[in-house]
Chain A
Amino acid sequence: MSDTPRTRVQGTQGRSVLLDVRGLRKHFPIRGGILNRVIGTVQAVDNVSFAVREGETLGIVGESGCGKSTTARLLMHLIEPDDGTITFDGRVVDKRDRAALRDMRRVLQMVFQDSYSSLNPRLPIEETIAFAPWVHGIPKREARDRAHRLLGAVGLEPATFARRYPHELSGGQRQRVNIARALALEPRVVVLDEPVSALDKSVEAQVLNLLVDLKDAFRLTYVFISHDLNVVQYVSDRVLVMYLGKVVEVGPVDQIYANPRHPYTRALLASRPSMNPRQRTTEAPLTGDPPNPINPPSGCRFRTRCAFAEGVCSTAEPRLAASDAVGGGLDAHMVACHMLAPDSGHSKTVLASNTA
């Protein structure tokens, strides 16, 4: 790995939309009682829409129960949505269209948080990596050659590592294998679900550097899911903030971090421990825990923890709308908050538009 400063692809504006998600919804029923009836639903993902452009990294950030991992699984069609459409490269992916689904699964790959449970413990890692290409009709020897090349690309010397089993590797090495496995089918999009959360800090930095290198080398598009705001800021071009199954804010990374508009995003950013012991946090930005996604609050789901909540917040659900006059399109900074909607009836709306 070279130490030259990375040049970020600045203009992804003109690129085409690769993945388009509209109105995605997934509710999990909870059964109970003697008749095993549905006694509630976990509203894991509720009316989530976003688009990912070719070559960009979309970060999805939020706390536990916000639906970020469910979103990843829906993207991969590991679970079927109750409602909504996922369009990949202009083609609607539906479970009834087996061919479209199979094509999509090849070009959309996923890396999970737990590097150990996502590798087959009984296979040497070269075979784990070569397995998918072999299943997709590539001769065994060729698939193994590809596995060796990929091991090299993720920084594991094939001569040393190819025949090793997952338990013989460290956590960081295992995550590298997972990344190599995800790349084996030459995907266009990689969904990374908390890929560095289980790693030590010193190893986390190695894997983040690797992900950046691979993105350039293989011209990948990333959907990067994490609870770590600093990591998301580091890797993402655009960021989607989720709370209890809803998108509360989305926009270019610099906009979100320098000028967060939704009260939840502001609180989330202010909750990061200060890296400066001379300036410690003196007050917690929020009280309480995120509510249970079973039967979430009416109206705005954040209102139970929001300092600005008013009557309108419990009756009407805020719509995701452009927060300022910068304009629409994919690079718009969108916020779902009544305070930023001029006609919502919230008393702070005037104030908000003045400071905009």
Chain B
Amino acid sequence: MQQPSPVPDSAAPLVDVVDLSVRFVSKDATVHAVNGVSFQLTAGEVLCILGESGSGKSVTMRALLRLLPETARISGQVRVDGRDVIAMAGNELARLRGGVASMIFQEPMTALDPVFTVGQQIAETIVRHEGTSWAEAEKRGLELLELVQIPSAKRRLASYPHELSGGLRQRAMIAMALSCRPRLLLADEPTTALDATVQIQILLLLRRLQEDLGMGVIFVTHDLGVAGEIADRVAVMYAGRFIETGPVVDLMEGPLHPYTQGLLGSTVHGGMRGQRLTAIPGSPPSLSELPTGCAFAPRCPQAMDVCQTSEPTERKPRPDRTARCVLVEESIQAA
């Protein structure tokens, strides 16, 4: 038998991000899209990054695969499956993308190639990454379409993306993302463009696939309900920072940060008829001119003088929860 390695694989997180910052520098302005994000994802865990437009949630996720334009300045440390993504050369990156980690997008019509059939696109990925024969790859393609529950899969393999409905297209994209059995699936609002009755189907499919295949999933969404259906853990993002993280039940039942509280209060759901919505005043800050101090302070009903001057540090009221707000007490004893 082989000697066990000194650090067993299961202990190493699938994703390890330390102090990630992303800036987009142009002549006119510097956009601070991500400002010091740190987190870990273990294999088989579903993390939802919840935030509004311009909060930096998609940029954070794309940085994990370095899917960012040339103008992006990335700093900090990003390790996926133990490998340093920031230091990777081009061919290594190409192996990572679609191999160990793959991604699904909001709009499948723009993410799929319109001039190739679904089958060709899936087979190409498999041939490229695993060097199998084309016939072998096409056979796998059929299995994958059945895995994502596409009816009459054989016929659909020969379909072009425009011939599929929105829900089927999204399933085809998921099949393609899963074609090389990734350990990490990145999902960027994959259900936002879908109808309500289709969205729930895709969410349940993703949840089942994640459990069956044991993938780690990072799921970006702006919808609390979607996070509630799929997340193990939620990270709430505001102005490029994780302002609160925690297990999904705890976070939705007892939000700590005033922004998360506001978000829960302003999300319309059943039984709110006739009540006034507790809206968060104002709008999110511009990422090219962030306020000093807490970025949420200008909209915060509980802001104090200290919030205007210094950026609150991350507090850990419980071992599995963090919040960046001066109102949150650091727990005394480490559990």
Contact = CB atoms under 8 A, between A and B. Distances in A.
A275 B268 CA distance: 10
B267 interface: yes
Nearest to A64: B195
A170 B284 CA distance: 9
Contact of A201 (B167, B267, B276): B267
Contacts of A173: 283
B167 A288 contact: yes
Contacts of A288: 151, 165, 167
Contacts of A202: 52, 262-263, 266, 279-280, 283-284
Contact of A275 (B52, B195, B252, B265): B252
A253 interface: yes
A353 interface: no
B268 A208 contact: yes
Contacts of A201: 52, 222-224, 263, 266-267
A277 interface: yes
A233 B196 contact: no
Given A206-B279, A286-B197, A290-B195, A281 B226 contact: no
Given A173-B283, A209-B277, A234 B268 contact: yes
Interface in A253-308: 253, 257, 267-268, 271-278, 280-290, 292
Nearest to A208: B277
Contacts of A233: 268, 270, 273
Interface stretch (A19-27, A134-142, A224-232, A343-351): A224-232
A244 B204 CA distance: 25
Contact of B278 (A205, A231, A271, A289): A205
A273 B277 contact: no
Contacts of B53: 171, 200
Interface in B23-63: 52-53
Contacts of A231: 268
A205 B277 contact: yes
Contact of B195 (A204, A227, A253, A282): A227
Given A280-B228, A285-B200, A203 B283 contact: yes
A179 to B, nearest CB: 15
B248 to A, nearest CB: 5
Contacts of B273: 8, 233-234, 253
Interface residues on A, range: 35 or more
B195 A63 contact: yes
Interface string A229-243: 111011000000000
Contacts of A282: 204
Nearest to B55: A200
A292 B226 CA distance: 26
Interface string B246-277: 00110010000000001101111110111111
Interface string A54-65: 000000000110
B229 interface: yes
A208 B201 CA distance: 29
A22 to B, nearest CB: 28
Interface string A298-335: 00000000000000000000000000000000000000
A257 B204 contact: no
A172 interface: yes
Interface of B: 52-53, 151, 165-168, 195-201, 203-204, 222-226, 228-229, 231, 248-249, 252, 262-263, 265-270, 272-281, 283-284
Which 6 residue pairs of A and B lie closest in terms of their CB atoms, listed nearest first? Answer: A273-B225, A205-B266, A205-B279, A200-B52, A63-B195, A289-B165
20 contacts: A3-B276, A6-B276, A63-B195, A63-B197, A201-B224, A202-B280, A204-B268, A233-B268, A267-B197, A271-B200, A272-B196, A273-B228, A275-B224, A275-B228, A275-B267, A277-B248, A284-B201, A289-B165, A289-B167, A290-B195
Interface of A: 3-6, 8, 63-64, 170-173, 200-206, 208-209, 212, 227-231, 233-234, 253, 257, 267-268, 271-278, 280-290, 292
Given A6-B276, A231-B268, A273-B203, 17 more contacts: A5-B274, A8-B273, A172-B283, A173-B283, A200-B52, A200-B222, A200-B284, A201-B224, A203-B279, A233-B270, A275-B224, A275-B252, A276-B252, A278-B249, A280-B229, A287-B201, A292-B165
